[in-house]
Protein backbone atom coordinates (compact mmCIF):
# COMPACT_ATOMS: atom_id res chain seq x y z
CA UNK A 1 0.00 0.00 0.00
CA UNK A 2 1.68 3.15 -1.14
CA UNK A 3 2.70 5.07 1.91
CA UNK A 4 0.19 3.31 4.16
CA UNK A 5 0.67 0.60 6.70
CA UNK A 6 -2.20 -1.42 8.09
CA UNK A 7 -0.96 -0.69 11.60
CA UNK A 8 -2.75 1.80 13.81
CA UNK A 9 -1.40 5.33 13.64
CA UNK A 10 1.67 5.50 15.83
CA UNK A 11 2.68 9.04 15.17
CA UNK A 12 1.79 12.30 13.52
CA UNK A 13 3.82 11.42 10.40
CA UNK A 14 1.68 8.35 9.62
CA UNK A 15 -1.49 10.39 10.05
CA UNK A 16 -0.17 12.97 7.57
CA UNK A 17 0.68 10.18 5.10
CA UNK A 18 -2.82 8.78 5.43
CA UNK A 19 -4.37 12.20 4.80
CA UNK A 20 -2.20 12.61 1.71
CA UNK A 21 -3.04 9.22 0.20
CA UNK A 22 -6.73 8.99 1.08
CA UNK A 23 -7.68 11.41 -1.69
CA UNK A 24 -6.32 8.95 -4.29
CA UNK A 25 -8.19 5.97 -5.69
CA UNK A 26 -5.93 3.37 -4.04
CA UNK A 27 -7.29 0.28 -5.91
CA UNK A 28 -6.78 2.06 -9.23
CA UNK A 29 -3.30 3.14 -8.15
CA UNK A 30 -2.43 -0.46 -7.20
CA UNK A 31 -3.65 -1.79 -10.56
CA UNK A 32 -1.69 0.87 -12.39
CA UNK A 33 1.51 0.10 -10.47
CA UNK A 34 1.05 -3.63 -11.09
CA UNK A 35 0.63 -2.96 -14.82
CA UNK A 36 3.74 -0.73 -14.84
CA UNK A 37 5.66 -3.45 -13.00
CA UNK A 38 4.59 -6.07 -15.58
CA UNK A 39 5.80 -3.70 -18.30
CA UNK A 40 9.11 -3.47 -16.40
CA UNK A 41 8.77 0.31 -16.08
CA UNK A 42 8.86 0.24 -12.27
CA UNK A 43 9.99 -2.14 -9.55
CA UNK A 44 7.82 -2.59 -6.48
CA UNK A 45 9.37 -3.34 -3.13
CA UNK A 46 8.27 -3.22 0.48
CA UNK A 47 10.18 -1.84 3.41
CA UNK A 48 8.93 -1.26 6.95
CA UNK A 49 5.34 -1.86 5.85
CA UNK A 50 5.62 0.76 3.13
CA UNK A 51 5.39 0.15 -0.62
CA UNK A 52 8.46 1.46 -2.41
CA UNK A 53 8.22 2.27 -6.12
CA UNK A 54 11.46 2.52 -8.10
CA UNK A 55 11.56 3.57 -11.72
CA UNK A 56 13.60 1.27 -13.97
CA UNK A 57 15.95 2.33 -16.77
CA UNK A 58 13.19 1.44 -19.22
CA UNK A 59 10.74 3.55 -17.20
CA UNK A 60 13.12 6.50 -17.19
CA UNK A 61 13.44 6.24 -20.95
CA UNK A 62 9.67 6.31 -21.35
CA UNK A 63 9.33 9.35 -19.07
CA UNK A 64 12.06 11.14 -21.04
CA UNK A 65 10.25 10.31 -24.30
CA UNK A 66 7.07 11.93 -22.95
CA UNK A 67 9.09 14.98 -21.88
CA UNK A 68 10.73 15.16 -25.30
CA UNK A 69 7.38 15.05 -27.07
CA UNK A 70 6.24 18.04 -25.01
CA UNK A 71 9.24 20.20 -25.94
CA UNK A 72 8.89 23.06 -28.39
CA UNK A 73 10.96 26.04 -29.48
CA UNK A 74 9.22 29.18 -28.25
CA UNK A 75 9.24 32.39 -30.25
CA UNK A 76 10.40 35.29 -28.05
CA UNK A 77 8.76 38.70 -28.37
CA UNK A 78 12.02 40.21 -29.60
CA UNK A 79 14.53 38.33 -31.76
CA UNK A 80 18.06 38.43 -30.34
CA UNK A 81 19.60 38.59 -33.83
CA UNK A 82 21.37 35.23 -33.44
CA UNK A 83 21.01 32.21 -35.69
CA UNK A 84 21.33 28.69 -34.29
CA UNK A 85 22.88 26.14 -36.61
CA UNK A 86 22.62 22.48 -35.70
CA UNK A 87 25.23 20.44 -37.51
CA UNK A 88 25.56 16.69 -37.23
CA UNK A 89 27.72 13.92 -38.63
CA UNK A 90 26.10 10.72 -37.41
CA UNK A 91 27.61 7.40 -38.54
CA UNK A 92 25.65 5.30 -41.04
CA UNK A 93 25.10 2.53 -38.51
CA UNK A 94 22.94 5.01 -36.55
CA UNK A 95 20.76 5.92 -39.54
CA UNK A 96 17.51 5.38 -37.60
CA UNK A 97 18.64 7.74 -34.86
CA UNK A 98 19.71 10.28 -37.48
CA UNK A 99 16.19 10.09 -38.97
CA UNK A 100 14.65 10.63 -35.51
CA UNK A 101 16.87 13.68 -34.96
CA UNK A 102 15.78 15.15 -38.30
CA UNK A 103 12.10 14.53 -37.55
CA UNK A 104 12.31 16.36 -34.22
CA UNK A 105 14.20 19.28 -35.75
CA UNK A 106 11.57 19.60 -38.48
CA UNK A 107 8.74 19.32 -35.95
CA UNK A 108 10.33 22.13 -33.91
CA UNK A 109 10.34 24.40 -36.96
CA UNK A 110 14.00 24.18 -37.94
CA UNK A 111 14.91 25.18 -41.48
CA UNK A 112 16.90 22.58 -43.47
CA UNK A 113 19.96 24.70 -44.27
CA UNK A 114 22.08 22.00 -45.91
CA UNK A 115 22.30 18.24 -45.66
CA UNK A 116 23.05 17.54 -41.98
CA UNK A 117 22.65 21.21 -41.04
CA UNK A 118 19.47 22.82 -39.68
CA UNK A 119 18.82 26.45 -38.82
CA UNK A 120 16.65 28.19 -36.22
CA UNK A 121 16.26 31.85 -35.29
CA UNK A 122 15.17 31.36 -31.69
CA UNK A 123 16.82 29.94 -28.57
CA UNK A 124 16.70 26.17 -28.88
CA UNK A 125 19.95 25.03 -27.29
CA UNK A 126 18.30 23.34 -24.31
CA UNK A 127 15.89 21.40 -26.50
CA UNK A 128 18.68 20.22 -28.80
CA UNK A 129 20.91 19.29 -25.84
CA UNK A 130 18.06 17.27 -24.33
CA UNK A 131 17.37 15.54 -27.66
CA UNK A 132 20.98 14.64 -28.37
CA UNK A 133 21.45 13.27 -24.84
CA UNK A 134 18.20 11.30 -25.08
CA UNK A 135 19.31 9.81 -28.41
CA UNK A 136 22.87 9.24 -27.16
CA UNK A 137 24.46 11.21 -30.00
CA UNK A 138 26.03 14.09 -28.11
CA UNK A 139 29.42 13.56 -29.70
CA UNK A 140 27.97 13.80 -33.24
CA UNK A 141 25.85 16.95 -32.90
CA UNK A 142 27.13 20.53 -32.67
CA UNK A 143 25.25 23.72 -31.88
CA UNK A 144 26.61 26.91 -33.44
CA UNK A 145 25.29 30.34 -32.54
CA UNK A 146 26.11 32.90 -35.23
CA UNK A 147 25.40 36.61 -35.63
CA UNK A 148 25.33 36.79 -39.38
CA UNK A 149 24.50 34.65 -42.39
CA UNK A 150 24.95 36.15 -45.83
CA UNK A 151 21.88 36.30 -48.08
CA UNK A 152 19.60 35.63 -45.10
CA UNK A 153 16.35 37.05 -46.54
CA UNK A 154 14.96 33.56 -47.16
CA UNK A 155 15.62 32.60 -43.53
CA UNK A 156 14.27 35.87 -42.14
CA UNK A 157 11.08 35.34 -44.14
CA UNK A 158 10.79 31.74 -42.96
CA UNK A 159 11.08 32.71 -39.28
CA UNK A 160 9.32 36.07 -39.59
CA UNK A 161 12.23 38.13 -38.26
Is there a single domain that holds both residue 96 and residue 121? yes
Q: Is residue 4 in some structural domain?
A: no
Q: For residue 78, how many other CB atoms are within 10 A of its CB?
A: 6
The candidate with the shortest Cα–Cα distance to 108, out of 92, 93, 124, is 124
Angle subtended at Cα 146 by Cα 141 and Cα 147, rounded to the nearest 5 degrees: 170
The reported pTM is 0.69
On whether residue 150 sits in a domain, the answer given is: yes
- Give me the number of domains the chain comprises: 2
Are 81 and 37 in a shared domain?
A: no
Q: Tell me the per-residue pLDDT of 121-152, one tens digit each, with 9 for 90 and over.
A: 999 999 999 999 999 999 999 999 999 999 99
pLDDT attached to residue 1: 44
Considering the domain architecture, whether residues 80 and 142 belong to the same structural domain is answered as: yes
Domain-embedded: residue 27: yes
> Which residue ranges of the chain lie beneath pLDDT 50?
1-6
In the prediction, which pLDDT does 11 show? 67
Domain that holds residue 93: 73-159
Judgement on whether residues 155 and 77 belong to the same structural domain of the protein? yes
pLDDT at 7: 53
Amino acid sequence: MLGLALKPFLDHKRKEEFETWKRFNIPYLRRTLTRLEKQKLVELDEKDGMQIVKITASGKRKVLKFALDELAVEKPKIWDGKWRLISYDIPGRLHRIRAILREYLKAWGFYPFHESVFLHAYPCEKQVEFLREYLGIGEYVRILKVSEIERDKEFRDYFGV
